[in-house]
Structure 1
Amino acid sequence: MSDDAKHPIRFLLSDMDGTLLLPDHSLSQRTIEAVRALREAGVLFSLATGRPPKAMLQQIEALGVDLPTAAFNGGTIVKPDGTLLVAHYLPVTAALTALALFADRPDIEIWVFSGGDWLLKDPHGPMVPREQSGLGYPPVVVESFEPYLQKIDKIVATSNNAQLLIELEALLLPKVEGQAQVSRSQPIYLDVTAMQANKGDALATLADYLGVPLEHTSAIGDGGNDPAMFHRAGLSIAMGQAEEAVKRQADVVTGANTEDGAAQAIERYILPRT
Protein backbone atom coordinates (compact mmCIF):
# COMPACT_ATOMS: atom_id res chain seq x y z
CA MET A 1 0.00 0.00 0.00
CA SER A 2 1.10 3.55 -0.60
CA ASP A 3 2.44 5.40 2.44
CA ASP A 4 -0.55 7.68 2.15
CA ALA A 5 -3.40 5.31 2.96
CA LYS A 6 -5.95 8.07 2.42
CA HIS A 7 -5.61 8.09 -1.37
CA PRO A 8 -9.05 7.56 -2.88
CA ILE A 9 -9.35 4.50 -5.12
CA ARG A 10 -10.20 5.47 -8.68
CA PHE A 11 -9.54 2.17 -10.48
CA LEU A 12 -9.98 -1.45 -9.37
CA LEU A 13 -8.42 -4.28 -11.39
CA SER A 14 -9.81 -7.69 -10.47
CA ASP A 15 -8.88 -11.28 -11.13
CA MET A 16 -11.76 -13.51 -12.24
CA ASP A 17 -11.50 -17.21 -11.33
CA GLY A 18 -11.32 -17.69 -7.59
CA THR A 19 -12.02 -13.99 -7.04
CA LEU A 20 -15.10 -12.58 -8.76
CA LEU A 21 -16.39 -16.00 -9.76
CA LEU A 22 -17.84 -18.75 -7.62
CA PRO A 23 -16.40 -22.28 -7.99
CA ASP A 24 -18.99 -23.05 -10.69
CA HIS A 25 -17.73 -20.00 -12.67
CA SER A 26 -20.90 -18.00 -12.01
CA LEU A 27 -21.25 -14.48 -10.62
CA SER A 28 -23.28 -13.94 -7.46
CA GLN A 29 -25.88 -11.20 -7.43
CA ARG A 30 -24.03 -9.52 -4.56
CA THR A 31 -20.87 -9.32 -6.66
CA ILE A 32 -22.76 -7.88 -9.64
CA GLU A 33 -24.35 -5.27 -7.40
CA ALA A 34 -21.04 -4.39 -5.74
CA VAL A 35 -19.40 -3.74 -9.12
CA ARG A 36 -22.42 -1.67 -10.16
CA ALA A 37 -22.06 0.38 -6.96
CA LEU A 38 -18.39 0.94 -7.78
CA ARG A 39 -19.18 2.26 -11.22
CA GLU A 40 -21.97 4.48 -9.86
CA ALA A 41 -19.45 5.92 -7.39
CA GLY A 42 -17.18 6.82 -10.31
CA VAL A 43 -14.61 4.07 -9.71
CA LEU A 44 -13.26 2.52 -12.90
CA PHE A 45 -13.33 -1.29 -13.02
CA SER A 46 -11.75 -3.90 -15.24
CA LEU A 47 -10.59 -7.52 -15.33
CA ALA A 48 -7.19 -9.23 -15.42
CA THR A 49 -7.19 -12.98 -15.89
CA GLY A 50 -5.25 -15.92 -17.22
CA ARG A 51 -8.20 -16.64 -19.51
CA PRO A 52 -8.27 -15.92 -23.26
CA PRO A 53 -10.17 -12.79 -24.33
CA LYS A 54 -13.23 -14.61 -25.66
CA ALA A 55 -13.62 -16.51 -22.39
CA MET A 56 -14.27 -13.18 -20.65
CA LEU A 57 -17.16 -11.97 -22.80
CA GLN A 58 -20.00 -13.28 -20.66
CA GLN A 59 -18.58 -11.73 -17.49
CA ILE A 60 -17.76 -8.45 -19.26
CA GLU A 61 -21.40 -8.17 -20.29
CA ALA A 62 -22.79 -9.20 -16.90
CA LEU A 63 -20.61 -6.68 -15.05
CA GLY A 64 -20.99 -3.88 -17.57
CA VAL A 65 -17.23 -3.57 -18.13
CA ASP A 66 -16.58 -0.90 -20.76
CA LEU A 67 -12.80 -0.57 -20.42
CA PRO A 68 -9.89 -2.55 -21.90
CA THR A 69 -9.43 -5.92 -20.20
CA ALA A 70 -6.27 -7.97 -19.63
CA ALA A 71 -6.24 -11.60 -20.78
CA PHE A 72 -3.46 -14.23 -20.56
CA ASN A 73 -2.18 -12.69 -17.29
CA GLY A 74 -1.69 -9.37 -19.07
CA GLY A 75 -0.13 -10.74 -22.23
CA THR A 76 -3.06 -9.42 -24.24
CA ILE A 77 -4.99 -6.26 -23.42
CA VAL A 78 -8.12 -5.87 -25.51
CA LYS A 79 -10.18 -2.73 -26.02
CA PRO A 80 -13.99 -2.98 -25.84
CA ASP A 81 -14.21 -2.89 -29.64
CA GLY A 82 -11.97 -5.97 -29.87
CA THR A 83 -8.83 -4.22 -31.05
CA LEU A 84 -5.54 -4.94 -29.28
CA LEU A 85 -3.93 -2.43 -26.96
CA VAL A 86 -1.11 -4.85 -26.04
CA ALA A 87 0.02 -8.28 -27.31
CA HIS A 88 3.03 -10.17 -25.94
CA TYR A 89 3.87 -13.66 -27.23
CA LEU A 90 5.94 -16.33 -25.53
CA PRO A 91 9.47 -16.53 -27.02
CA VAL A 92 9.93 -19.69 -29.10
CA THR A 93 12.90 -20.88 -27.04
CA ALA A 94 10.93 -20.59 -23.80
CA ALA A 95 7.92 -22.33 -25.37
CA LEU A 96 10.07 -25.25 -26.53
CA THR A 97 11.69 -25.52 -23.09
CA ALA A 98 8.34 -25.62 -21.31
CA LEU A 99 6.78 -28.08 -23.74
CA ALA A 100 9.77 -30.40 -23.43
CA LEU A 101 9.64 -30.32 -19.63
CA PHE A 102 5.91 -31.06 -19.54
CA ALA A 103 5.96 -33.77 -22.24
CA ASP A 104 5.40 -37.45 -21.53
CA ARG A 105 4.33 -36.97 -17.92
CA PRO A 106 1.28 -39.18 -17.30
CA ASP A 107 -0.35 -36.82 -14.76
CA ILE A 108 0.09 -33.67 -16.85
CA GLU A 109 -2.11 -32.30 -19.62
CA ILE A 110 -0.59 -29.66 -21.89
CA TRP A 111 -2.65 -26.87 -23.39
CA VAL A 112 -1.50 -24.11 -25.74
CA PHE A 113 -3.43 -20.89 -26.37
CA SER A 114 -2.78 -19.18 -29.69
CA GLY A 115 -4.81 -16.88 -31.90
CA GLY A 116 -7.84 -17.14 -29.66
CA ASP A 117 -7.87 -20.94 -29.83
CA TRP A 118 -7.38 -23.48 -27.05
CA LEU A 119 -5.12 -26.16 -28.54
CA LEU A 120 -4.44 -29.63 -27.20
CA LYS A 121 -3.46 -33.09 -28.41
CA ASP A 122 -5.71 -35.21 -26.19
CA PRO A 123 -9.37 -34.12 -26.04
CA HIS A 124 -10.16 -36.86 -23.52
CA GLY A 125 -7.91 -35.61 -20.71
CA PRO A 126 -9.66 -35.52 -17.31
CA MET A 127 -9.11 -31.76 -16.94
CA VAL A 128 -10.74 -30.87 -20.27
CA PRO A 129 -14.42 -30.84 -19.18
CA ARG A 130 -13.68 -28.41 -16.35
CA GLU A 131 -11.80 -26.05 -18.64
CA GLN A 132 -14.43 -26.21 -21.35
CA SER A 133 -17.10 -25.37 -18.78
CA GLY A 134 -15.08 -22.41 -17.55
CA LEU A 135 -14.08 -21.07 -20.97
CA GLY A 136 -17.45 -21.67 -22.60
CA TYR A 137 -16.03 -23.11 -25.82
CA PRO A 138 -14.34 -26.37 -26.92
CA PRO A 139 -10.67 -27.06 -27.65
CA VAL A 140 -9.06 -27.49 -31.06
CA VAL A 141 -7.31 -30.86 -31.36
CA VAL A 142 -3.89 -30.69 -33.05
CA GLU A 143 -1.18 -33.24 -33.81
CA SER A 144 1.64 -30.83 -33.02
CA PHE A 145 2.10 -27.43 -31.39
CA GLU A 146 4.98 -26.60 -33.74
CA PRO A 147 2.91 -24.61 -36.30
CA TYR A 148 1.84 -22.24 -33.51
CA LEU A 149 5.23 -21.54 -31.90
CA GLN A 150 5.56 -18.01 -33.29
CA LYS A 151 2.38 -16.73 -31.65
CA ILE A 152 1.78 -18.57 -28.38
CA ASP A 153 -0.12 -16.50 -25.83
CA LYS A 154 0.12 -19.03 -23.03
CA ILE A 155 1.13 -22.62 -22.26
CA VAL A 156 -0.66 -24.39 -19.42
CA ALA A 157 0.35 -27.55 -17.61
CA THR A 158 -2.66 -28.80 -15.69
CA SER A 159 -3.15 -31.65 -13.26
CA ASN A 160 -5.14 -32.69 -10.22
CA ASN A 161 -1.72 -33.39 -8.68
CA ALA A 162 -1.07 -29.89 -7.32
CA GLN A 163 2.22 -30.93 -5.70
CA LEU A 164 3.56 -32.05 -9.07
CA LEU A 165 2.80 -28.60 -10.51
CA ILE A 166 4.70 -26.99 -7.63
CA GLU A 167 7.68 -29.19 -8.48
CA LEU A 168 7.43 -28.42 -12.20
CA GLU A 169 7.25 -24.70 -11.45
CA ALA A 170 10.50 -24.94 -9.48
CA LEU A 171 12.15 -26.91 -12.31
CA LEU A 172 11.01 -24.60 -15.09
CA LEU A 173 11.72 -21.21 -13.49
CA PRO A 174 15.54 -21.35 -13.77
CA LYS A 175 15.33 -22.77 -17.31
CA VAL A 176 13.36 -19.78 -18.65
CA GLU A 177 14.65 -17.05 -16.34
CA GLY A 178 14.53 -13.72 -18.15
CA GLN A 179 12.47 -15.22 -20.98
CA ALA A 180 9.10 -16.11 -19.48
CA GLN A 181 6.79 -15.77 -16.51
CA VAL A 182 5.88 -19.01 -14.70
CA SER A 183 3.11 -19.00 -12.10
CA ARG A 184 0.28 -21.12 -10.78
CA SER A 185 -2.87 -19.11 -11.52
CA GLN A 186 -4.76 -21.79 -9.57
CA PRO A 187 -3.39 -24.84 -7.70
CA ILE A 188 -4.22 -27.03 -10.71
CA TYR A 189 -2.89 -24.67 -13.42
CA LEU A 190 0.74 -23.82 -14.14
CA ASP A 191 0.87 -20.92 -16.63
CA VAL A 192 3.80 -19.98 -18.84
CA THR A 193 3.62 -16.58 -20.56
CA ALA A 194 5.91 -13.89 -21.96
CA MET A 195 7.97 -11.84 -19.48
CA GLN A 196 5.83 -8.77 -20.17
CA ALA A 197 2.68 -10.86 -19.67
CA ASN A 198 2.10 -10.21 -16.01
CA LYS A 199 -0.70 -8.55 -14.14
CA GLY A 200 1.59 -5.93 -12.62
CA ASP A 201 2.52 -4.54 -16.01
CA ALA A 202 -1.13 -4.87 -17.07
CA LEU A 203 -2.22 -2.74 -14.11
CA ALA A 204 0.41 -0.11 -14.91
CA THR A 205 -0.55 -0.07 -18.62
CA LEU A 206 -4.26 0.24 -17.89
CA ALA A 207 -3.76 2.89 -15.21
CA ASP A 208 -1.65 4.95 -17.61
CA TYR A 209 -4.21 4.47 -20.39
CA LEU A 210 -6.97 5.66 -18.03
CA GLY A 211 -4.94 8.50 -16.56
CA VAL A 212 -5.02 7.12 -13.01
CA PRO A 213 -1.89 7.28 -10.81
CA LEU A 214 -0.93 3.87 -9.42
CA GLU A 215 -1.41 5.07 -5.84
CA HIS A 216 -5.10 5.52 -6.69
CA THR A 217 -5.47 1.92 -7.94
CA SER A 218 -6.49 -1.29 -6.21
CA ALA A 219 -6.00 -4.93 -7.21
CA ILE A 220 -7.73 -8.06 -5.94
CA GLY A 221 -6.93 -11.71 -6.61
CA ASP A 222 -6.24 -15.15 -5.21
CA GLY A 223 -3.62 -16.87 -7.37
CA GLY A 224 0.12 -17.00 -7.78
CA ASN A 225 -0.14 -14.67 -10.78
CA ASP A 226 -1.82 -11.91 -8.72
CA PRO A 227 1.00 -10.62 -6.46
CA ALA A 228 2.55 -9.01 -9.56
CA MET A 229 -0.31 -6.50 -9.49
CA PHE A 230 -0.40 -6.40 -5.69
CA HIS A 231 3.10 -4.94 -5.75
CA ARG A 232 2.06 -2.10 -8.09
CA ALA A 233 -1.35 -1.18 -6.70
CA GLY A 234 -2.07 1.46 -4.10
CA LEU A 235 -4.23 -1.06 -2.25
CA SER A 236 -3.89 -4.83 -2.72
CA ILE A 237 -6.49 -7.35 -1.59
CA ALA A 238 -6.12 -11.13 -1.36
CA MET A 239 -9.03 -13.55 -1.29
CA GLY A 240 -9.61 -15.56 1.86
CA GLN A 241 -9.00 -18.96 0.23
CA ALA A 242 -5.69 -17.88 -1.36
CA GLU A 243 -2.49 -19.67 -0.41
CA GLU A 244 -0.63 -18.10 2.51
CA ALA A 245 2.23 -17.02 0.23
CA VAL A 246 -0.26 -14.94 -1.78
CA LYS A 247 -2.00 -13.48 1.28
CA ARG A 248 1.31 -12.33 2.74
CA GLN A 249 1.91 -10.12 -0.30
CA ALA A 250 -1.40 -8.25 -0.01
CA ASP A 251 -2.26 -5.26 2.15
CA VAL A 252 -5.53 -6.80 3.34
CA VAL A 253 -7.36 -10.13 3.12
CA THR A 254 -11.07 -10.43 2.42
CA GLY A 255 -13.44 -13.42 2.53
CA ALA A 256 -13.25 -16.43 0.23
CA ASN A 257 -14.91 -16.42 -3.18
CA THR A 258 -17.56 -18.77 -1.75
CA GLU A 259 -18.37 -15.98 0.73
CA ASP A 260 -18.62 -13.16 -1.84
CA GLY A 261 -15.20 -11.99 -0.71
CA ALA A 262 -14.76 -9.66 -3.69
CA ALA A 263 -18.03 -7.91 -2.90
CA GLN A 264 -17.01 -7.71 0.76
CA ALA A 265 -13.75 -6.03 -0.25
CA ILE A 266 -15.48 -3.51 -2.49
CA GLU A 267 -17.94 -2.62 0.27
CA ARG A 268 -15.35 -2.47 3.06
CA TYR A 269 -12.16 -1.22 1.44
CA ILE A 270 -12.96 0.48 -1.88
CA LEU A 271 -16.26 2.33 -1.61
CA PRO A 272 -15.36 4.06 1.70
CA ARG A 273 -12.28 5.50 -0.04
CA THR A 274 -14.16 7.08 -2.94
Structure 2
Amino acid sequence: KELGIDVPFAAFNGGILANPDGSVMARHCVDRRAVDAALSLFARHPVAIWLFADDQWYLTNPDTQYLGKELDALGYGYVQVDDFGPYLDRVDKIVATCADFDLLAQLEKQLSQQIKGQALAARSQNYYLDVTALLANKGDALAELAGHLGVPLAQAAVLGDGGNDVAMFRRAGLSIAMGQADASVKAHADHVTASNREQGVADAIDALILPRAPHTR
Protein backbone atom coordinates (compact mmCIF):
# COMPACT_ATOMS: atom_id res chain seq x y z
CA LYS A 1 0.00 0.00 0.00
CA GLU A 2 2.80 2.37 0.89
CA LEU A 3 4.46 1.86 -2.48
CA GLY A 4 1.22 2.25 -4.41
CA ILE A 5 1.71 -1.01 -6.31
CA ASP A 6 -1.15 -1.50 -8.76
CA VAL A 7 0.06 -4.56 -10.67
CA PRO A 8 0.39 -8.22 -9.61
CA PHE A 9 3.47 -9.21 -7.64
CA ALA A 10 5.31 -12.37 -6.61
CA ALA A 11 6.15 -13.66 -3.14
CA PHE A 12 8.20 -16.60 -1.85
CA ASN A 13 10.43 -16.59 -4.96
CA GLY A 14 7.32 -16.94 -7.11
CA GLY A 15 5.61 -19.51 -4.92
CA ILE A 16 2.68 -17.12 -4.71
CA LEU A 17 1.47 -14.67 -7.33
CA ALA A 18 -0.89 -12.09 -5.86
CA ASN A 19 -3.09 -9.24 -6.97
CA PRO A 20 -2.48 -5.73 -5.59
CA ASP A 21 -5.23 -6.28 -2.98
CA GLY A 22 -3.41 -9.37 -1.70
CA SER A 23 -5.75 -11.95 -3.20
CA VAL A 24 -3.89 -14.99 -4.53
CA MET A 25 -3.67 -15.60 -8.28
CA ALA A 26 -1.56 -18.77 -8.06
CA ARG A 27 0.10 -20.77 -5.28
CA HIS A 28 2.82 -23.42 -5.48
CA CYS A 29 3.41 -25.23 -2.19
CA VAL A 30 6.56 -27.21 -1.40
CA ASP A 31 6.30 -30.94 -2.12
CA ARG A 32 5.75 -32.79 1.16
CA ARG A 33 8.67 -35.13 0.47
CA ALA A 34 10.98 -32.13 0.17
CA VAL A 35 9.54 -30.58 3.33
CA ASP A 36 10.32 -33.72 5.31
CA ALA A 37 13.82 -34.03 3.83
CA ALA A 38 14.68 -30.39 4.51
CA LEU A 39 13.45 -30.41 8.10
CA SER A 40 15.28 -33.66 8.79
CA LEU A 41 18.55 -32.31 7.39
CA PHE A 42 18.29 -28.94 9.14
CA ALA A 43 17.50 -30.58 12.47
CA ARG A 44 20.95 -32.19 12.43
CA HIS A 45 22.78 -28.86 12.18
CA PRO A 46 22.98 -25.65 14.26
CA VAL A 47 20.56 -23.61 12.16
CA ALA A 48 17.33 -21.83 13.00
CA ILE A 49 14.32 -23.02 11.00
CA TRP A 50 11.47 -20.79 9.87
CA LEU A 51 8.39 -22.10 8.11
CA PHE A 52 5.96 -19.99 6.10
CA ALA A 53 2.40 -21.23 5.56
CA ASP A 54 -1.16 -19.91 5.82
CA ASP A 55 0.15 -16.34 5.42
CA GLN A 56 2.05 -16.77 8.67
CA TRP A 57 5.71 -17.00 9.72
CA TYR A 58 6.11 -19.94 12.09
CA LEU A 59 9.10 -20.77 14.29
CA THR A 60 9.77 -22.87 17.34
CA ASN A 61 12.61 -20.81 18.82
CA PRO A 62 12.94 -17.02 18.43
CA ASP A 63 16.50 -17.00 19.76
CA THR A 64 18.35 -16.49 16.47
CA GLN A 65 20.73 -13.86 15.17
CA TYR A 66 18.74 -12.72 12.13
CA LEU A 67 15.29 -12.54 13.68
CA GLY A 68 15.32 -8.74 13.94
CA LYS A 69 16.42 -8.37 10.33
CA GLU A 70 13.53 -10.53 9.14
CA LEU A 71 11.06 -8.66 11.33
CA ASP A 72 12.16 -5.40 9.73
CA ALA A 73 11.99 -6.86 6.22
CA LEU A 74 8.56 -8.48 6.56
CA GLY A 75 6.81 -5.82 8.57
CA TYR A 76 4.85 -8.37 10.59
CA GLY A 77 5.59 -10.69 13.49
CA TYR A 78 6.17 -14.40 13.86
CA VAL A 79 4.01 -17.09 15.45
CA GLN A 80 5.85 -19.35 17.91
CA VAL A 81 4.68 -22.97 17.83
CA ASP A 82 5.73 -26.18 19.54
CA ASP A 83 6.26 -28.00 16.24
CA PHE A 84 5.58 -27.59 12.52
CA GLY A 85 3.44 -30.72 12.21
CA PRO A 86 0.09 -29.07 11.44
CA TYR A 87 1.45 -27.08 8.49
CA LEU A 88 3.64 -29.52 6.57
CA ASP A 89 1.20 -30.14 3.71
CA ARG A 90 0.83 -26.46 2.78
CA VAL A 91 4.29 -24.94 3.12
CA ASP A 92 5.09 -21.89 1.00
CA LYS A 93 8.74 -21.68 2.06
CA ILE A 94 11.21 -23.05 4.59
CA VAL A 95 14.21 -20.98 5.65
CA ALA A 96 17.32 -22.19 7.42
CA THR A 97 19.41 -19.38 8.86
CA CYS A 98 22.66 -19.02 10.79
CA ALA A 99 25.86 -16.98 10.80
CA ASP A 100 27.93 -19.88 9.45
CA PHE A 101 27.75 -19.04 5.75
CA ASP A 102 29.95 -21.97 4.74
CA LEU A 103 27.60 -24.38 6.49
CA LEU A 104 24.59 -22.97 4.64
CA ALA A 105 26.47 -23.29 1.33
CA GLN A 106 27.20 -26.95 2.12
CA LEU A 107 23.57 -27.58 3.11
CA GLU A 108 22.41 -25.93 -0.10
CA LYS A 109 24.45 -28.38 -2.20
CA GLN A 110 23.48 -31.39 -0.13
CA LEU A 111 19.78 -30.61 -0.01
CA SER A 112 19.62 -29.69 -3.70
CA GLN A 113 20.67 -33.23 -4.53
CA GLN A 114 18.27 -34.79 -2.03
CA ILE A 115 15.20 -32.93 -3.30
CA LYS A 116 16.08 -32.75 -6.98
CA GLY A 117 12.88 -32.93 -9.02
CA GLN A 118 10.77 -32.21 -5.93
CA ALA A 119 11.68 -28.67 -4.80
CA LEU A 120 14.40 -26.04 -4.93
CA ALA A 121 17.04 -25.08 -2.36
CA ALA A 122 18.86 -21.77 -2.88
CA ARG A 123 20.34 -19.06 -0.71
CA SER A 124 18.57 -15.70 -0.99
CA GLN A 125 21.30 -14.22 1.23
CA ASN A 126 24.50 -15.66 2.66
CA TYR A 127 22.59 -16.21 5.89
CA TYR A 128 19.30 -17.53 4.42
CA LEU A 129 18.81 -20.90 2.71
CA ASP A 130 15.33 -21.05 1.16
CA VAL A 131 13.41 -24.17 0.21
CA THR A 132 10.57 -23.53 -2.24
CA ALA A 133 8.43 -25.39 -4.76
CA LEU A 134 9.86 -26.26 -8.19
CA LEU A 135 7.73 -23.58 -9.82
CA ALA A 136 8.57 -21.14 -7.04
CA ASN A 137 11.56 -19.60 -8.75
CA LYS A 138 12.05 -16.06 -9.90
CA GLY A 139 12.55 -17.05 -13.52
CA ASP A 140 9.12 -18.66 -13.88
CA ALA A 141 7.56 -15.94 -11.72
CA LEU A 142 9.02 -13.25 -13.98
CA ALA A 143 7.70 -15.01 -17.08
CA GLU A 144 4.22 -15.38 -15.59
CA LEU A 145 4.05 -11.77 -14.42
CA ALA A 146 5.40 -10.48 -17.74
CA GLY A 147 2.82 -12.53 -19.62
CA HIS A 148 0.03 -11.20 -17.42
CA LEU A 149 1.16 -7.62 -18.08
CA GLY A 150 1.77 -8.17 -21.77
CA VAL A 151 5.49 -7.37 -21.52
CA PRO A 152 7.89 -9.45 -23.65
CA LEU A 153 10.68 -10.98 -21.58
CA ALA A 154 13.17 -9.32 -23.92
CA GLN A 155 11.90 -5.98 -22.58
CA ALA A 156 11.93 -6.99 -18.92
CA ALA A 157 14.59 -5.60 -16.57
CA VAL A 158 15.45 -7.22 -13.25
CA LEU A 159 17.73 -6.42 -10.31
CA GLY A 160 18.95 -8.85 -7.67
CA ASP A 161 21.69 -9.77 -5.23
CA GLY A 162 21.16 -13.41 -4.25
CA GLY A 163 21.68 -16.86 -5.70
CA ASN A 164 17.95 -17.23 -6.17
CA ASP A 165 17.97 -14.20 -8.51
CA VAL A 166 20.05 -15.98 -11.15
CA ALA A 167 16.95 -17.77 -12.49
CA MET A 168 15.38 -14.43 -13.45
CA PHE A 169 18.69 -13.07 -14.75
CA ARG A 170 18.57 -15.88 -17.33
CA ARG A 171 15.05 -14.98 -18.50
CA ALA A 172 15.08 -11.17 -18.57
CA GLY A 173 16.26 -9.03 -21.43
CA LEU A 174 18.27 -6.89 -19.02
CA SER A 175 19.74 -8.23 -15.78
CA ILE A 176 21.51 -6.14 -13.16
CA ALA A 177 23.32 -7.42 -10.08
CA MET A 178 23.61 -5.34 -6.95
CA GLY A 179 27.06 -4.31 -5.73
CA GLN A 180 26.77 -6.41 -2.57
CA ALA A 181 26.11 -9.61 -4.52
CA ASP A 182 28.63 -12.46 -4.53
CA ALA A 183 30.91 -12.74 -7.54
CA SER A 184 29.11 -15.94 -8.56
CA VAL A 185 25.83 -13.98 -8.84
CA LYS A 186 27.39 -11.01 -10.63
CA ALA A 187 28.83 -13.37 -13.24
CA HIS A 188 25.30 -14.13 -14.50
CA ALA A 189 24.19 -10.49 -14.86
CA ASP A 190 24.53 -8.16 -17.83
CA HIS A 191 25.55 -5.28 -15.56
CA VAL A 192 26.56 -4.59 -11.96
CA THR A 193 25.36 -1.50 -10.11
CA ALA A 194 26.34 -0.05 -6.73
CA SER A 195 25.23 -1.63 -3.46
CA ASN A 196 21.99 -1.05 -1.57
CA ARG A 197 23.82 1.35 0.73
CA GLU A 198 24.97 3.40 -2.28
CA GLN A 199 21.55 3.84 -3.98
CA GLY A 200 22.43 1.14 -6.49
CA VAL A 201 18.82 0.56 -7.56
CA ALA A 202 18.24 4.24 -8.34
CA ASP A 203 21.53 4.42 -10.23
CA ALA A 204 20.63 1.35 -12.28
CA ILE A 205 17.22 2.76 -13.17
CA ASP A 206 18.72 6.09 -14.25
CA ALA A 207 21.75 4.77 -16.12
CA LEU A 208 20.67 1.38 -17.45
CA ILE A 209 16.89 1.01 -17.54
CA LEU A 210 15.42 4.40 -18.47
CA PRO A 211 17.71 4.94 -21.49
CA ARG A 212 16.36 1.67 -22.93
CA ALA A 213 12.71 2.34 -22.13
CA PRO A 214 10.40 3.40 -24.96
CA HIS A 215 9.45 7.06 -24.67
CA THR A 216 6.11 8.41 -25.79
CA ARG A 217 4.91 11.99 -26.05
TM-score by length of 2: 0.95
Number of residues paired by the alignment? Answer: 213
| Pairs within 5 Å for 1:130-141 | 130-141=69-80
* Structure 1, 189-198 or 78-87: larger mean CA deviation: 78-87
How far apart in 1 are the matches of 2:71 and 2:209?
33
**Structure 2 counterpart SS, 1:225:** helix
How far apart in 1 are the matches of 2:202 and 2:172?
18
Counterpart position of 1:123: 62
How far apart in 1 are the matches of 2:66 and 2:197?
22
How far apart in 2 are the matches of 1:239 and 1:135?
20
Q: Does 1:68 pair with 2:8?
A: yes
Counterpart position of 2:156: 217
* Structure 1, 129-138 or 147-156: larger mean CA deviation: 129-138
1:150-189 CA distance string (max 9 Å, x none): 1100000000111110011111010000111111000100
1:174 counterpart (85, 108, 113): 113
Q: Does 1:81 pair with 2:21?
A: yes
How far apart in 1 are the matches of 2:211 and 2:90?
43
Question: Is contact 2:179–2:192 with CA below 8 Å preserved after alignment?
Answer: yes
1:136-159 CA distance string (max 9 Å, x none): 222111111111011100000000
How far apart in 2 are the matches of 1:239 and 1:204?
21
1:181-240 CA distance string (max 9 Å, x none): 111000100000000000000100001001111111111100011011000001101011
Give the aligned residue type for 1:93.
R
How far apart in 2 are the matches of 1:189 and 1:245?
16
Question: Is contact 2:62–2:80 with CA below 8 Å preserved after alignment?
Answer: yes
How far apart in 2 are the matches of 1:62 and 1:266?
20
How far apart in 2 are the matches of 1:80 and 1:257?
25
* Structure 1, 148-157 or 131-140: larger mean CA deviation: 131-140
Query: Structure 1 residue runs of 4+, over 6 Å off?
Result: none
Question: Is contact 2:53–2:87 with CA below 8 Å preserved after alignment?
Answer: yes
How far apart in 2 are the matches of 1:226 and 1:157?
18
How far apart in 2 are the matches of 1:192 and 1:242?
20
TM-score by length of 1: 0.76
Gaps of 5+ in 1: 1-60
1:93-140 CA distance string (max 9 Å, x none): 00000000000423x000000011110111223332222222222211
Question: Is contact 2:64–2:98 with CA below 8 Å preserved after alignment?
Answer: no
| Pairs within 5 Å for 1:89-168 | 89-106=29-46, 108-168=47-107
CA shift for structure 1 position 62: 3.5
How far apart in 2 are the matches of 1:205 and 1:198?
11
Question: Is contact 2:13–2:136 with CA below 8 Å preserved after alignment?
Answer: yes
How far apart in 1 are the matches of 2:162 and 2:65?
22
Question: Is contact 1:156–1:189 with CA below 8 Å preserved after alignment?
Answer: yes
Cα RMSD (Å):
1.0
Question: Is contact 2:175–2:190 with CA below 8 Å preserved after alignment?
Answer: yes
How far apart in 1 are the matches of 2:169 and 2:68?
31
- Work out the percentage of aligned pairs sharing the same amino acid: 52
2:137 counterpart (184, 198, 218): 198
How far apart in 1 are the matches of 2:67 and 2:172?
34
Which structure ranks higher in relative contact order (CA pairs < 8 Å, sequence separation ≥ 6)? 1
Gaps of 5+ in 2: none
